[in-house]
Amino acid sequence: MYYLGIDLGGTHIACGVVDADGRIIAQAETETKAERPYQEVIHDMGVCALRAISEAKVAQDDVKSIGIGIPGVANNDNGYVIFCTNLGWTDVPLRDELQKVINLPVYIDNDATVAGFAESVAGVSKGLKSSVFLTLGTGVGGGIIIDGKPWSGAHGVASEIGHLTLLADGLPCTCGKSGCVERYCSATALIRMAKETAAQNPDWLAFRRIDSDLNRISAKVVIDAAKEGDTLALDIFNRFVKYLTLTCNTIVSFLDPEMIVLGGGVSHAGDFLLEAVRRELPNYLMFKALPYADVQLAQLGNSAGIIGAAMVGKIHTEGA
Amino acid sequence: MYYLGIDLGGTHIACGVVDADGRIIAQAETETKAERPYQEVIHDMGVCALRAISEAKVAQDDVKSIGIGIPGVANNDNGYVIFCTNLGWTDVPLRDELQKVINLPVYIDNDATVAGFAESVAGVSKGLKSSVFLTLGTGVGGGIIIDGKPWSGAHGVASEIGHLTLLADGLPCTCGKSGCVERYCSATALIRMAKETAAQNPDWLAFRRIDSDLNRISAKVVIDAAKEGDTLALDIFNRFVKYLTLTCNTIVSFLDPEMIVLGGGVSHAGDFLLEAVRRELPNYLMFKALPYADVQLAQLGNSAGIIGAAMVGKIHTEGA
């Protein structure tokens, strides 16, 4: 049996045929062109999905379901996307529209939840009953796996870990609150701190290397400099690690999963980041003598979107 | 069928025979006298449990399991209490010792988790699949119900909601971190804020009413004064509500349960507290247009300990 996974992004749509073990058999891609009416976008998703099935050389009857990861919130009772900010979608009947092209059961979930589930089926948290996935990118997203299943909450809005309050009355957040995790643990946070450092230290070597151009400051610039031992970059990195580790501790204190998986752009810092978080975490634990969540880097990269979406479809049609 | 529930506290042990719907049929109580060797305390638990069974006038064969709520952390694989601070217990073989007196299956869980489960079987969150229980007392404890079952985490240390970081680098906490929820949302926090207010305002009416005695400041003193419209007390109460509501928002953003249940001593403030939290919560929500957790007051009071413990035993022996 096979399961179709669709990773719906703001610029690209990626479709893949995935086997029961979470291996991608074939995949296809198309542009989103999100400015079009949603009917056209969804039609193209269906056509792209059919191409992936054709590439996979499997009978369409052997494909059991379609799972879709979206950067937004969905309602699986009626198959609607409730909203999806960077596509400009509100109350879009994604399931109905897609079934006009491929008549299979359709299930939709948040992209970070889907990526976390992918890791727990075929990635670093494979086989674990409980894990929490963190995407450290422009923002911070989360995915929760409990009892081997994704947990999206009672109203589909769980695992918005980027919007837990980490510093009450702290930096204003795009969500309207202040001091959210996302303000301190994202690539955006690294860039903000680096811009402040550059403003105060115009001779900062790491800054001069990018021609003292504030627009060229990226998470990678900061982390690469920190890896080389640049003192100012290390100071930024250590502050970032402190906040990220406090967030990991909050995950341990709240849910106590078997594993915390770090994904997203910032996680490309690799072992440098992982080992810093692992070093710091025991300092914050409430129960220092007890075992606690292993912290690991995500393994599946961009494939997580397709694999996780396909596996969400599988679990909805067949159970855990 | 019946299930025995034991609420093991620092000063008292309460045992009850509970039916399948979470109703207490009979109960018995004894003193803990925690300074004794654990063998003696556990022996008395067993004797007290037998008294409750005798009171209930049910055949011992009709009692299927024993559940125990402890103010600490347990390992249900081996039936050991890993530790229990206010009893001074570390690695205590509670199951083995208790089975010397009553030979029934024994399951142990944290007291706040047990109380939250009681509410979801027979209290305000009855029948809901997901809820989070907060005990607002000297500290802040939590209980998580997911898919109708208590979630204690992969290592038994979940739902320590009092030790999520709410204000990084904030007030030092007993756990060794700084800025934990417990520092801002407990009775202790209300008392701390009131002492600060009293020091700065020696003429404060609410303070003079307790003979300007700092030792008589309690959560109730502050809340009663706030209810009467005392400006300084209202200021304290409003700050408390803000932090508590941020914590409720963190619960929504993390787990998105159907309900958040407020219990513990501070929850005796009743509708005055409940309505304040309900008024404030929408301001903090990320998805303001979507449904979100109902916030309610706990209903079962002290009975929650016995009922929840008994139901933990039931769910372990019979499944959800």
Per the rule left: phi > 0, alpha: psi between -120 and 50, beta: everything else, B88 is left
Over residues B132-155, mean pLDDT? 96
User: Is the domain of B128 the same as that of B194?
Assistant: yes
Q: Do A253 and B156 touch (CB under 8 A)?
A: no
In a domain, B218, yes or no: yes
Cα separation, B318 vs B170, whole angstroms: 45
Residue of A158, A167, A289 lying closest to B168 (CB–CB): A167
pLDDT digits (tens, 9 = 90+) for B186-204: 999 999 999 999 999 999 9
Phi, psi of B156 (to 5 degrees): 80, 10
Q: Chain B: residue nearest A246 by CA? A: B165
Q: Chain A: residue nearest B173 by CA? A: A286
Which are the contacts of A63, defined by CB distance < 8 A and separation ≥ 6? A2, A3, A4, A17, A53, A104
The pLDDT value recorded for residue A289 is 85
Over residues A235-247, mean pLDDT? 98
Residue of B146, B160, B243 lying closest to A168 (CB–CB): B243
- Give which of A73, A62, A68 is closest to A41, Cα–Cα: A68
**Which residue is it, tokens 């002290």?**
B302
Minimum distance, in Å, between the CA of residue A254 and any CA atom of chain B? 5
Other Cβ atoms within 10 Å of B26 Cβ, number: 17
Q: Do A287 and B73 touch (CB under 8 A)?
A: yes
Domains contained in chain A, number: 2
Q: Chain A: residue nearest B153 by CA? A: A256
Contact B13, B6 (CB under 8 A): yes
Domain harbouring B28, CATH code: 3.30.420.40
In a domain, B231, yes or no: yes
Q: Chain A: residue nearest B258 by CA? A: A154
Bridge partners of residue B214, in order along the sequence: none
The structure's pTM equals 0.95
Q: Do A157 and B256 touch (CB under 8 A)?
A: yes
Asked if B313 is an interface residue toward chain A (Cβ–Cβ < 8 A), one would say: no
User: Is the domain of A200 the same as that of A306?
Assistant: no
User: Is the domain of B84 the same as that of B147?
Assistant: no
Per the rule left: phi > 0, alpha: psi between -120 and 50, beta: everything else, A132 is beta
pLDDT digits (tens, 9 = 90+) for B32-50: 999 999 999 999 999 999 9
Q: Do A256 and B165 touch (CB under 8 A)?
A: no
Cα–Cα–Cα angle for A123, A129, A139, rounded to 5 degrees: 60
pLDDT digits (tens, 9 = 90+) for A15-48: 999 999 999 999 999 999 999 999 999 999 999 9
Q: How sure is the predictor about A150, in pLDDT bands with cuts at 50, 70 and 90?
A: very high
User: Is the domain of B129 the same as that of B249?
Assistant: yes
The pLDDT value recorded for residue B297 is 98
User: Is the domain of B151 the same as that of B265?
Assistant: yes
- Token pair for residue B8? 């093991």
The pLDDT value recorded for residue B320 is 65
- Mutation site for B-interface testing, chosen from A167, A286, A294, A295 by largest number of B Cβ within 10 Å: A286
Which are the contacts of A272, defined by CB distance < 8 A and separation ≥ 6? A223, A226, A227
Bridge partners of residue B172, in order along the sequence: B178
Minimum distance, in Å, between the CA of residue B130 and any CA atom of chain A? 7
Which are the contacts of B47, defined by CB distance < 8 A and separation ≥ 6? B30, B101
Does the pLDDT value for residue B72 go beyond 70?
yes
Cα separation, B110 vs B309, whole angstroms: 9
User: Is the domain of A100 the same as that of A233?
Assistant: no
Q: What percent of chain A has pLDDT over 70?
A: 100
User: Is the domain of B161 the same as that of B89?
Assistant: no
pLDDT digits (tens, 9 = 90+) for B223-281: 999 999 999 999 999 999 999 999 999 999 999 999 999 999 999 999 999 999 999 99
Contacts of B179 in chain A (CB under 8 A): 167
Contacts of A258 in chain B (CB under 8 A): 154
Q: How sure is the predictor about A320, in pLDDT bands with cuts at 50, 70 and 90?
A: low
- Give which of B289, B274, B40, B143 is closest to A176, Cα–Cα: B289
Cα separation, B55 vs A9, whole angstroms: 64
Asked if A173 is an interface residue toward chain B (Cβ–Cβ < 8 A), one would say: no
In a domain, B45, yes or no: yes
Does the pLDDT value for residue B83 go beyond 90?
no
User: Is the domain of A225 the same as that of A239?
Assistant: yes
The pLDDT value recorded for residue B287 is 86
Contact A285, A292 (CB under 8 A): yes
pLDDT digits (tens, 9 = 90+) for A40-71: 999 999 999 999 999 999 988 999 999 999 99
Asked if B170 is an interface residue toward chain A (Cβ–Cβ < 8 A), one would say: yes
Asked if A160 is an interface residue toward chain B (Cβ–Cβ < 8 A), one would say: yes
Contacts of B257 in chain A (CB under 8 A): 153-154
User: Is the domain of B89 the same as that of B189?
Assistant: no
In a domain, B117, yes or no: no
- Mean pLDDT, chain A, whole residue set: 96
**Which residue is it, tokens 């406090």?**
A246
Asked if B175 is an interface residue toward chain A (Cβ–Cβ < 8 A), one would say: yes
Minimum distance, in Å, between the CA of residue A53 and any CA atom of chain B? 35
Q: Do B161 and A82 touch (CB under 8 A)?
A: no
Contact A107, A76 (CB under 8 A): yes
Does the pLDDT value for residue B168 go beyond 90?
yes
E-state strands within A99-236: 106-110, 131-136, 140-146, 149-150
In a domain, B118, yes or no: no
The pLDDT value recorded for residue B86 is 77
User: Is the domain of A68 the same as that of A92?
Assistant: yes
In a domain, B304, yes or no: no
Contacts of A255 in chain B (CB under 8 A): 144, 151, 153, 158, 254-255
Q: Do A165 and B129 touch (CB under 8 A)?
A: no
Does the pLDDT value for residue B319 go beyond 90?
no
Bridge partners of residue B14, in order along the sequence: B7, B29
Q: Do B286 and A159 touch (CB under 8 A)?
A: no
Minimum distance, in Å, between the CA of residue A40 and any CA atom of chain B? 26
Cα separation, B252 vs A161, whole angstroms: 10
Contact B116, A111 (CB under 8 A): no
Contacts of A144 in chain B (CB under 8 A): 254-255
Contact A124, A261 (CB under 8 A): yes
In a domain, B303, yes or no: no
User: Is the domain of B91 the same as that of B229?
Assistant: no
Q: Do B254 and A159 touch (CB under 8 A)?
A: yes
User: Is the domain of A130 the same as that of A248?
Assistant: yes
- Mutation site for A-interface testing, chosen from B110, B256, B290, B315 by largest number of A Cβ within 10 Å: B256
Asked if A44 is an interface residue toward chain B (Cβ–Cβ < 8 A), one would say: no
Residue B130's domain spans which residues? Answer: 124-297
Other Cβ atoms within 10 Å of B29 Cβ, number: 15
Cα separation, A271 vs A260, whole angstroms: 15
The pLDDT value recorded for residue A288 is 84
Fill in the amino acid letter for A26.
Answer: A
In a domain, B46, yes or no: yes
Residues recorded for chain A: 320
- Mutation site for B-interface testing, chosen from A109, A147, A165 by largest number of B Cβ within 10 Å: A165
